Amino acid sequence: MDEAFDADHEYALFRRLATATTAGRGNRPEMTAGPSDTRPTIPLRRLLLLTVLAAAIAFALQATLAATGAPSAEAISLLVIPVAAGAVIFFGLRPYPLGGRLRLALMTALALFLVGLGL
């Protein structure tokens, strides 16, 4: 009976030691974790501030066009305001990858263009 107990005890101890560490990787979480996700995320506060800045620039451009009475103010505002808002988003998110900045700037410009059309 004692031999069976000792064998079970040794087996349990061996299993605990074998699973505590992995072969050469250690048992600390930073060593055993897989590759980390290094994609940057956009902080909500920064995105909100860029949105407010883009809206302020769009409002200022629209007010300038209305005050000057430009003959083609509607066409200018339909093109210039979305491009300006896209530029604010593109250059405001400078630490992020180029593809993500370009995609978000194009989506912003397209959305403002469609709003300008009245769709």
pLDDT tens, 71-105? 888 888 888 889 998 999 899 888 888 998 999 89
- For residue 1, CA distances in Å to 9, 12, 14 come to 12, 17, 20
Q: What pLDDT is attached to residue 34?
A: 58
Model confidence, pTM: 0.58
Helix, strand and coil in the chain, % to nearest 5: 75, 0, 25
pLDDT digits (tens, 9 = 90+) for 46-68: 888 988 988 898 889 888 888 88
CA 68/CA 57 separation, integer angstroms:
16
CA 20/CA 18 separation, integer angstroms:
6
- Please give the share of the chain, as a percent, with pLDDT higher than 90: 13
26-47 mean pLDDT:
67
